[in-house]
């Protein structure tokens, strides 16, 4: 299967499950084991982590970015809690305790910083996937409807960014113990010889059917031409 893959590929995948101050998520850490196996089959070197605190998340990202200079394709996947603040998105580590919005910048991990690190590596293609859950355990989120969902983002030209739900909306399966979005990702990411946009179109169509239109995944890209599993 690797014989047709010419690019050097590096992936960082993180699944946060064991939250101490927010709802425990049962699926992310399990799903990344399956994702790791598929990514390795299609030529990725995989850095996999589960249940990271803030310092550990930042170290994982820094290590990933440092290595990425030696690769052609960068891939980042995160499943866990996330939120937004001042128009920017933040990933929430497992021991984060947010009492007010101002705590987000201090206690969480900036998604924009991750994008900046990957952009600085100057690789051919960057792919970022967020299967993000909106935490319901933080008091400020219960009061502020504007904080629901993640913020809209436009990535640089060689980026493909996918969210499990549209900006400003939370996942329909926010209270489920399994992620329908990641289940569909696992079914489609290894399909032979189809463009990345077609992979995510298939996921979007299936999610629309599964949730009866209540959850629509969202992607943004600027002419990214990439096949996860090329055959020629």
Q: Is the dihedral of CA 157, 12, 169, 227 positive or negative?
A: positive
4-22: pLDDT as tens digits: 788 999 999 999 988 887 7
| Measured distance CA(120)–CA(37) in Å, rounded | 28
Where does 108-155 have alpha helices with state H? Answer: 111-121, 139-143
Instruction: Read off the tokens for 221.
Output: 């890209």
190 vs 215, residue with greater confidence? 190
> So what's the pLDDT on residue 174?
46
The pLDDT, as a whole number, for residue 138 is 58
Contact between 180 and 211 under an 8 Å Cβ cutoff? The reply is yes
Q: What tokens were used for 19?
A: 């939250």
Picking from 129, 133, 131, 163, the residue whose alpha carbon sits closest to that of residue 148 is 133
The CATH number assigned to the domain holding 62 equals: 3.40.50.1460
pLDDT on residue 171: 65
Tokens read off for 62: 């820094």
Question: 8-12, 20-24, 120-124, 139-143: which has the minimum mean pLDDT?
Answer: 139-143
Using a cut of 0.85, tell me whether the model's pTM lies above it: yes
Q: Which of 70-79, 105-114, 123-132, 170-179 has the lowest mean pLDDT?
A: 170-179
Asked if the structure places residue 77 within a domain, the reply is yes
Nearest-Å Rg of the Cα atoms of the chain is: 17
Q: Is residue 230 part of a domain?
A: no
Q: Is residue 228 part of a domain?
A: no
Tens-digit pLDDT profile for residues 56-92: 999 999 999 999 999 999 999 999 989 888 889 999 9
Instruction: Indicate the pLDDT class of residue 169, thresholds 50, 70 and 90.
Output: confident
Q: What are phi and psi of 49, to 5 degrees?
A: -140, 150
Q: Cα–Cα distance between 167 and 178 in angstroms, integer?
A: 21
Number of separate domains in the chain:
1
Q: What is the mean pLDDT of residues 32-40?
A: 95
Whether the predicted pLDDT of 105 surpasses 70: yes
- The residue-averaged pLDDT of 83-106 equals 89
Give the residue-averaged pLDDT of 217-232. Answer: 90
Residue 54 · residue 21 · CB < 8 Å: no
Considering the domain boundaries, does residue 232 fall inside one? no
Q: 229 in a domain, yes or no?
A: no
CB 175 within 8 A of CB 195: no
**Confidence class for position 1, pLDDT limits 50, 70, 90:** very low
**157 or 63: whose pLDDT is higher?**
63
Range of the domain at 171: 2-221
CA 221, CA 196: separation in Å to the nearest integer?
10
């Amino acid at each position: 299967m690797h014989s047709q893959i010419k690019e050097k590929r590096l992936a960082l995948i993180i699944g946060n499950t064991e939250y101490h101050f927010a709802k425990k998520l049962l699926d992310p850490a399990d799903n990344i084991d399956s994702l790791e196996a598929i990514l390795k089959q299609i030529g990725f070197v995989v850095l996999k982590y589960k249940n990271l605190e803030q310092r550990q998340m930042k170290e994982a990202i820094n290590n990933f970015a440092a290595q990425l200079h030696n690769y052609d394709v960068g891939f980042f996947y995160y499943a866990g809690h996330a939120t937004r603040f001042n128009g920017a998105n933040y990933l929430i580590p497992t021991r984060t305790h947010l009492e007010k919005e101002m705590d987000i910048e201090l206690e969480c991990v900036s998604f924009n910083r991750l994008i900046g690190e990957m952009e600085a590596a100057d690789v051919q293609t960057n792919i970022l996937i967020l299967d993000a859950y909106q935490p319901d355990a933080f008091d400020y989120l219960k009061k502020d409807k504007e904080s629901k969902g993640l913020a809209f983002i436009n990535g640089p030209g060689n980026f493909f960014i996918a969210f499990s739900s549209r900006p400003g909306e939370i996942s329909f399966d926010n209270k489920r113990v399994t992620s329908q979005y990641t289940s569909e990702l696992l079914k489609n990411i290894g399909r032979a010889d189809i463009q990345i946009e077609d992979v995510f179109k298939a996921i979007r169509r299936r999610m629309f059917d599964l949730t009866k239109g209540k959850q629509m995944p969202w992607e943004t890209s600027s002419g990214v031409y990439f096949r996860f599993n090329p055959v020629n």
